[in-house]
Amino acid sequence: MKHVAIRAVVCSFFLLATMGQADVKQQARVQVVMLGTGTPLPDPERSGPSVALVVNGRAYLFDAGTGIVRRAAAARERGIIGLEPRTLRVAFLTHLHSDHTLGLPDLTLTPWVMGRAEPLELWGPHGTRAMVDHILAAFNEDVILRTTGLEGSNTTGYKVDVREIEPGDVYKDGNATIKPFLVKHGEWKQAFGYRIEALGRVIVYSGDTSPAESVVENCHGCDILIAEAYTEASFDLVSAHWQKYRRTYHMSTRELADIATRARPGLLVLTHRGNAGCDQSQAHGCLRAGSEEQLLKEMKKYYSGKVVAAHDLDVF
């Protein structure tokens, strides 16, 4: 009995040691973690849009959709150290649509409640500062109580250092160089994609966009291009109003195929499979026409490069 117990202890030490080595290995490279691959549709399988780039154990977050911190916690449980919630402290917004920002109060407050003492560093378009000010005003009673009551939370970690992006701004630290670039997203005055360079790899996240040459120029043979698309099959089934919306705000599979063919990424990762018009009508045929299966079928018809449809918590 005693012998068995000792063996169990030795085994778990061995297991911990092995996990430690694996974790260290993961820390030493670049990982793209799809925290949320959804859209405004409240799909239980897909959190709101959010991508994490983890470099040397440090996370850089792009967009803050619903569920961002819980998905980060799930990735941490799978061994990605940089996504430990209380260490999340650098984030970039592509634009201020609610599906990309509903997780911002979560990202601002939850890591702090878990012990983060540094303010969140947040880059985003004009309007980001006003959004953050309003979020903090909305949670003012919570902040007062947590900092002055028995929880004894620190008085710094809920704060947000906002940087509203100006042309030419580039984020740079010892791990990564992150360059925002303008894309085209309907009536939004500013919507950004991001080009990230880290440890010799180049990753481009298009954000939400209709066809934009800036995506081609910034990828230009990049390792990974993360981009959105809707299916042509579903486009044909929605009203003229929704067709106009789609053309103005997003990309069809054929349009993305054209962009990607010229951008030449090593891997094209599809996310944010929009199905505007069908999501609202919930008509069965319309929803099926916008499915992931249909998306891949159309992409493979128009695009000869390597392409995958991402799911939440996929790692590339």
State the catalytic residues: 99
Minimum Å distance from CB 90 to Zn ion? Answer: 21
The C-alpha angle with vertex 216 and arms to 211 and 221, in degrees rounded to 5, equals: 145
Binding mask 221-250 for Zn ion (x = CB under 5 A): ------------------------------
Task: Identify residues 134-153 at the interface with Zn ion (CB under 5 A).
Answer: none
In the complex with Zn ion, the residue whose CB is nearer, 84 or 99, is 99
Tell whether residue 97 is a contact of Zn ion (CB under 5 A): yes
Q: Measured at the alpha carbon of residue 256, what is the angle toward residues 99 and 32, in degrees to the nearest 5?
A: 60
46 is a contact residue toward Zn ion (CB under 5 A):
no
Phi/psi-derived region of residue 18, left when phi > 0, alpha when psi is between -120 and 50, beta in every other case: alpha
Residue 287 three-state SS: helix
Residue pair 78/94 in contact (Cβ under 8 Å)? The answer is: no
Segment lying near Zn ion (by CB under 5 A), choices 20-28, 203-211, 212-220, 259-267: 203-211
Q: How far is the CB of 123 from Zn ion (least distance, A)?
A: 17
Closer Cβ to Zn ion, 99 or 232, answer by number = 99
Determine phi and psi for 108, rounding to 5 degrees. Answer: -75, -45
Give least dist CB 278 to Zn ion, A: 15
Selected binder of Zn ion within 84, 99, 298, 312 (CB under 5 A): 99
CB of 12 to Zn ion, least distance (A): 44
Complete edge-to-edge strand list for the sheet that includes strand 176-182:
171-172, 176-182, 192-198, 201-205, 224-228, 267-271, 307-309
Nearer to Zn ion, 99 or 298 (CB): 99
Query: Which of the stretches 95-103, 115-123, 213-221, 277-285 binds Zn ion when contact is defined by CB under 5 A?
Result: 95-103
Which CB sits closer to Zn ion, 99 or 223? 99
Closest distance to Zn ion from the beta carbon of 201 (Å): 25
Q: Binding Zn ion by CB under 5 A: which of 208, 223, 298, 312?
A: 208
- Tokens for 67, please give them: 């569920």
CB closer to Zn ion, 208 vs 279 = 208
Percent helix, strand and coil across the chain, each rounded to 5? 40, 20, 35
Closest CA to 249 of 218, 209, 289: 209
* CB 160, min distance to Zn ion, A: 21
For position 298 contacting Zn ion by CB under 5 A, the verdict is: no
Closest Cα to residue 60, out of 123, 127, 133?
123
Residue 33 CA to residue 51 CA, distance in Å, equals 6
Strand partners, 163: 123
- Report d(CA 56, CA 33) in Å as an integer: 14
- What is the distance between the alpha carbons of residues 224 and 36, in angstroms, rounded to a whole number? 17
Question: How many CB atoms sit inside 10 A of residue 167's CB?
Answer: 7
C-beta of 210 vs 281, nearer to Zn ion: 210
- Under a CB-based contact definition with an 8 Å cutoff, are residues 36 and 65 in contact? yes
Site for Zn ion in 54-73 (CB under 5 A): none
Size of interface with Zn ion, in residues (CB under 5 A): 3
Interface ranges with Zn ion (CB under 5 A): 97, 99, 208
